[in-house]
Chains A and B, each alone.
Chain A
Amino acid sequence: MSRPVQSRRLEGVDKNIWVEFVKLAATYSTVNLGQVTALSGENHMLHQYTRAFGHPPLVKILAQLFEKLLGQELDPMTNVMVTVGAYQALFCCFQAFVDEGDEVIIIEPFFDCYEQMVTMAGGTPVFVPLRPKAPENGKMMSSADWKLDSAELASKFNERTKAIVLNSPNNPLGKVFSRGELELIADLCVKHDVLCISDEVYEWLVYDGKEHIRIASLPGMWDRTVIIGSAGKTFSATGWKVGWTVGPNRLLQHIRTVHQNSVYHCATAAQEAVAQGFQRELMLYGKPDSYFVQLPKELQKKRDWLVQSLDAAGMKPIIPEGTYFLLADISNFKSDVPDVPNSDEPYDSRFAKWMVKNKGLAAIPLSAFYCGAHKNNYSHFIRFCFVRLGVIIRGGLVV
């Protein structure tokens, strides 16, 4: 063939940092998810197709849960759709709403797939960074110290802006957007008639008694927001690949169209398992036994331990308000890993490779969460995942 065999939509989306920095995430035990399939021998229809837009028991319980969380009525058939992980939910959103010429605002640092997916849909990603403000003397930096500049954010909105992607709690920083910050974004969305794609996969992982606020519950936002969630993150079972979208029918109808023309059905047994997991959790809601109470409590201890250890080792950790990630400033280690001027590779990427080789400790360079043009703006941070803390840190951290 004289021209490339592959389609043009793949241009620029073929690289992926995870191929380079592959790692397994949590090994936290899950909530009864294994029991369902152990029982599937008795109900063999669990092995056959279920409803394409979501297994009825699962969409019903999700609707119940989100009705309470959002304070409004939801129809499980039209306001909820199940996807193959939150990843596929994001894909459906971009395919459903982003055409060539559309701009999509992405807040940096960002989960890397947002940029790829917007590009593949023919859209133009427009980046706006969270900017760190130095904390008061003596205090450790918190993810709350990274903020959007309101004038800078407003300047990114124009008539071509189709959507903004919000990720709260934020990966990799761990920031939990405050009500005021969400109102800032919401006001701009309403003013410019922009959609909000709200990636809330870490919604249950907030610490220090903080509140996860759903932007869809702010005035004017329900009608223009798609909420994305993940059973993988909710139940520490990422390998089950069950996610969902929640939103108004006038948005979900187009997401359903993409879904029915791409994967159509999601695995039945996995959905049944997640539905049963949620049944249990709804019964235990607010009680000490609830996984939604236990998990953040356990992870907060690990967070605090890691913060202390990294601080003692000479790194400067940023205390995350949520998620199971934390960033650490590695500028103190220039003697171990010197700067290489004119290098194509950002500093933190080289540091992370050195650290895995020499200290047996794996982390992801923060520059991986920035667009190409901004990779060197914040290149002295690495991201740790502390969900399997006991296994890695005690074994590997020797400085």
Chain B
Amino acid sequence: MLLASRSFCCLGIRTYQLQTDLFSRSIKLSASATMAFRHKNTRRIEGLESNMWVEFTKMAADPSIVNLGQGFPDISPPTYVKEELAKASADDRLNQYTRGFGHPSLVEVLSQVYGRVCGRKVDPLTDILVTVGAYGSLFSTIQALIEEGDEVIIIEPFYDCYEPMVKMAGAKPVFIPLRYKNNGNSASSADWVLDPAELADKFNSKTKAIILNTPHNPIGKVFTREELQVIADLCIKHDTLCISDEVYEWLVYKGNQHIKIATLPGMWERTITIGSAGKTYSVTGWKLGWSIGPQNLIKHLQVVHQNMLYTCSTPLQEALAQAFWIDYKRMDDPDCYFYSLSRELESKRDRMARLLQDAGLKPVVPDGGYFMIVDVSTLNVDLSDVDAKQAYDYKFVKWMITSKKLSAIPVSAFCGSETKRQFEKYIRFCFIKKDSTLDAAEVILKNWNKQTA
């Protein structure tokens, strides 16, 4: 400390002197300083301070726990992706600010990729905004287009940030659950559907937007063209916007096709489509996402962006752009990462499903995404002596983490308060994990049966 203080003196920072002054004056003013302080949070964030990820990621941080909870890969991103970041970081020209709404080479390649996927021209400067993750895109979209007096339809279960973001914008979330359609023995994400009459009932003159997530987190449902048409028809009828969270767009398994609702007739002009580098390239830590849509909507997202963080990281955007160019050029080739990743994940999905079935559970096999939900009530774990107010799945996951060293996420965390009871027997596993992680999970699940028998 002494050495540091002397060094500080060289720079004219007089910490010792400061501490003496501070002490004597603070005695005098501390009374007034602590007495008057009226500053609490603003109305817009009232009630939004809690976040279940804080609790569950802390619990699962113990390295002895097999973490199938929070959705991030522990597999390595492709080598060329890492190499592009190393190259970009070494280039001094990329250390300074780039274009606020998106680094030119990145928006250019995004316009090419999505122009091709959507079958229409996507202008890189007016139809795209690059954001801090898809999370940032959701926030920019909601802040730009949603306000007090608006209602926003959210399909349950939902990625948990939709509700607080809608509330922070002063609007009212209106929930509608996916319901299990009993098809006999099959347990697939396709069994979970919206009731069209129930959905139509949620739309009214105050409905500003509906948030769609396909492929869906946590269930893994890939909405079919017919299902999207039902939603589209209602959007057009009620002049409602569609916020389409498609971060898992490349992760669809055999027999399924990801369809962009923005490509349905009448939908491009009222849809913001959100994508994610983290999910596309297995680089959740890069925190880059994008919103794509018509200029007359994107321009408002750009206004939010310029008043919120102005630019995203230059080297990360450049690296992402280069990775995208590599895969754009091979979009006709099965080796393109957009397709090879989903093939790799399909076998992990199948393995995860088998492990759970062997343990006597009935997993809901997802058609897309990298999550799988499973009904754990059949295990009959008695948790009635634990805090009765907490949902069963919360209690189950906490118990599973501490006693089985395996983590997952409770699905009721993804539901509005009225629907929590419907989903509290489900927990969500993430399977974008390396083989050794899945091996460790297998050991736990195999032994589970033995212990409880």
Q: B-contacting residues of A (Cβ < 8 Å)?
A: 1, 5-10, 13-14, 16, 18-19, 24-27, 29-30, 33-38, 40-41, 44-50, 52, 68-69, 71, 84-85, 87-88, 91, 95-99, 113, 116-117, 120-121, 162, 190, 193, 195, 209-212, 217, 219-220, 223-224, 236-241, 250-251, 253-254, 256-258, 260-270, 273, 285-287, 292-293
Contact = CB atoms under 8 A, between A and B. Distances in A.
Contacts of A41: 79, 82-83, 86
13 contacts: A25-B97, A29-B92, A41-B83, A47-B85, A84-B309, A219-B33, A241-B313, A254-B41, A260-B54, A261-B168, A265-B285, A267-B132, A268-B286
A263 B37 contact: no
Interface in B32-52: 32-34, 36-45, 48-49, 51
Given A190-B29, A261-B168, A99 B39 contact: no
B95 A33 contact: yes
Contacts of A237: 95-96
B208 to A, nearest CB: 9
Nearest to A163: B39
Contacts of A223: 33-34, 37
A6 B145 contact: yes
A258 B42 CA distance: 10
Contact of A266 (B44, B70, B79, B132): B132
Contact of B307 (A5, A91, A217): A91
A37 B45 contact: no
Interface of B: 4-8, 10-15, 18-19, 21-22, 25-26, 28-30, 32-34, 36-45, 48-49, 51, 53-54, 70, 72-74, 76-77, 79, 81-83, 85-86, 88-98, 100, 132-133, 135-136, 139, 143-147, 161, 164-165, 168-169, 239, 241, 282-288, 296-297, 300, 303-304, 306-316
A178 to B, nearest CB: 13
Given A237-B95, A240-B313, 6 more contacts: A33-B95, A47-B85, A48-B283, A71-B18, A190-B32, A223-B37
If over half of B's interface residues share one DSSP class (helix, strand or loop), that class is named, otherwise mixed; here it is helix
Of residues A113, A117, A257, which shows the largest number of chain B Cβ atoms within 10 Å of its Cβ? A257
Given A44-B77, A223-B37, A287-B7, A99 B18 contact: no
B36 to A, nearest CB: 4
A286 B11 contact: yes
Contact of A236 (B54, B95, B139): B95
A220 B36 CA distance: 11
A27 B92 CA distance: 7
B283 A260 contact: no
Contacts of A49: 70, 72, 284-285
Contacts of B38: 193
A69 B5 CA distance: 9
B139 A262 contact: yes
Contacts of B8: 68-69, 285-286
A193 B36 contact: yes
Given A30-B95, A96-B45, A263-B287, A14 B303 contact: yes
A266 B33 contact: no
Given A24-B96, A40-B82, A257-B41, A219 B25 contact: yes
A37 B89 contact: yes
B319 to A, nearest CB: 8
B285 A48 contact: yes
A253 B92 contact: no
Given A6-B145, A10-B144, A239 B49 contact: no
Contact of B12 (A96, A211, A262): A211
A329 to B, nearest CB: 28
Contacts of A45: 74, 285
Contacts of B82: 40-41, 44, 47
B431 to A, nearest CB: 15
Contacts of B315: 37, 239-240, 270
Nearest to A223: B33
Contacts of A270: 313, 315-316
B96 A239 contact: yes
A121 B42 contact: yes
Contacts of A285: 4, 7-8
B55 to A, nearest CB: 12
Contacts of B83: 41
A9 B147 contact: yes
Nearest to A221: B33
Contacts of A96: 41-42, 45
A95 B42 contact: yes
Considering the complex of A and B, which 6 residue pairs feature the smallest CB-CB distances, nearest first? A286-B7, A239-B314, A268-B285, A219-B25, A37-B89, A7-B147
A95 to B, nearest CB: 7
Nearest to B36: A193
Given A7-B146, A121-B42, A84 B312 contact: yes
Given A29-B92, A193-B37, A263-B136, A50 B285 contact: yes
B308 A88 contact: yes
Contacts of A69: 8, 13, 15
Given A9-B147, A91-B307, A220-B26, A260 B51 contact: yes
Contacts of A236: 95
A262 B45 CA distance: 11
B209 to A, nearest CB: 10
Contacts of B90: 34, 38
A217 B18 contact: yes
Nearest to B51: A260
Contacts of A239: 94-98, 311, 313-315
Contacts of A37: 85-86, 88-89, 315
Given A71-B15, A220-B33, A47 B285 contact: yes
Contact of B147 (A8, A38, A44, A50): A8
Nearest to B319: A37
A273 B306 CA distance: 25
Contacts of B169: 7
Contacts of B300: 5-7, 10
Nearest to A284: B7
A210 B95 contact: no
A260 B52 CA distance: 11
A260 B54 CA distance: 10
A149 to B, nearest CB: 24
A273 B89 contact: yes
Contacts of A238: 95-97
B307 A120 contact: yes
A219 B29 CA distance: 7
A113 B70 CA distance: 35
Given A48-B285, A239-B315, A261 B48 contact: yes
Contacts of A120: 307
A34 B86 CA distance: 7
Contacts of B313: 84, 239-241, 267, 270
